[in-house]
């Protein structure tokens, strides 16, 4: 390798790249530890151990565990956005197919260990809703933003398949998030994904009924 006047440019990550990598490791670790045992039980030491980093590194990036949790919520939501953007259903032309494809995709990723498929946001807000208002606000924001993605497809599908029906796409989208959050709780209680998966079958049936396939173009109110 040729030595250059800027030895850091190719031989090693720049300082800011290294800092970004450290931050990402801390955030990934925070997501994993909090999903494993909740916000209150997750100690800064646990997050550092999971990341393989020191408390010095932690407090270089975060003023507190709460600040880390709020950043972890944003990190979790951004990762989720990327996953759903890249999912096959996102490319379906028919919005009804996207709605049902979303539910199918959520069911398909409901597997593996519980900390891998459960929701950081629901886990944190469950216990911290009153004691940590900034965590509550972050969870509310990102749950709401994800629901808005589902709402867009529900609204487009309703315009085609159930234009005169009285149900509200925004409310139905929030309902889908409640079903998912509840599915995670039942999966945790049973300590396996199956109890959650069957809930998504019911959600799919409900959306199939709200968006009757045969009604295309008829304007019929189901």
Residue ranges in contact with a copy of itself by CB under 8 A: 36-41, 114-115, 121-123, 125-131, 136, 139-140, 143-144, 167, 171-172, 174-175, 177-183, 185-186, 188-191, 195-196, 198-199, 201-202, 205-206, 209
What count of residues does the chain have? Answer: 222
Measure the CA angle with vertex 185, ends 130 and 155; round to 5°.
85
Residue 213 beta carbon to a copy of itself: minimum distance, rounded to whole angstroms: 15
Q: How far is the CB of 130 from a copy of itself (least distance, A)?
A: 6
> How far apart are the C-alpha atoms of 167 and 157, rounded to whole Å?
12
Give the integer Cα–Cα distance in Å for 125 and 216: 40
CB of 184 to a copy of itself, least distance (A): 8
Distance CA 183, CA 116 (A): 14
End-to-end CA distance of the chain: 70
Distance CA(220)–CA(23), nearest Å, equals: 53
What the block records as the tokens of 202 is: 């019911």
Cβ proximity to a copy of itself: between 85 and 113 the closer is 113
HSE, side-chain direction, 13 A CA sphere, residue 142: 24
Nearer of residues 101 and 122 to a copy of itself, judged by Cβ = 122
**In the complex, minimum distance from the CB of residue 154 to a copy of itself, in angstroms, rounded to a whole number:** 12
3 vs 130, beta carbon nearer a copy of itself? 130
Burial class (CB in 10 A: 0-12, 13-18, 19+), 133: exposed
Closest CB to a copy of itself among residues 103, 172: 172
Task: CB nearer to a copy of itself: give 26 or 147.
Answer: 147
Q: Provide, rounded to whole angstroms, the least separation between the CB of residue 13 and a copy of itself.
A: 35
């Amino acid at each position: 390798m040729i030595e250059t006047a800027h030895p850091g440019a190719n031989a090693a990550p720049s300082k800011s790249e290294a800092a970004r990598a450290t931050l990402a490791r801390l955030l990934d670790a925070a997501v994993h530890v909090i999903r494993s045992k909740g916000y209150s039980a997750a100690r800064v030491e646990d997050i550092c151990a999971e990341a393989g980093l020191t408390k010095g590194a932690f407090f270089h990036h975060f003023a507190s565990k709460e600040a880390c949790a709020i950043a972890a919520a944003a990190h979790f939501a951004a990762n989720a956005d990327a996953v759903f953007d890249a999912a096959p259903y996102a490319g379906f032309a028919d919005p009804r197919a996207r709605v049902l494809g979303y539910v199918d995709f959520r069911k398909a990723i409901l597997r593996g260990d519980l900390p891998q498929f459960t929701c950081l946001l629901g886990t944190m807000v469950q216990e911290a809703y009153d004691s940590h208002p900034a965590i509550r606000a972050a969870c509310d924001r990102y749950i709401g933003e994800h629901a808005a993605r589902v709402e867009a497809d529900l609204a487009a599908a309703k315009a085609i398949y159930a234009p005169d029906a009285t149900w509200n796409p925004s409310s139905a989208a929030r309902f889908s998030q409640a079903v998912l959050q509840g599915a995670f709780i039942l999966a945790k209680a049973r300590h396996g994904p199956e109890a959650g998966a069957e809930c998504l079958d019911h959600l799919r049936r409900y959306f199939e009924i709200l968006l009757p396939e045969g009604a295309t173009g008829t304007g019929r109110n189901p």
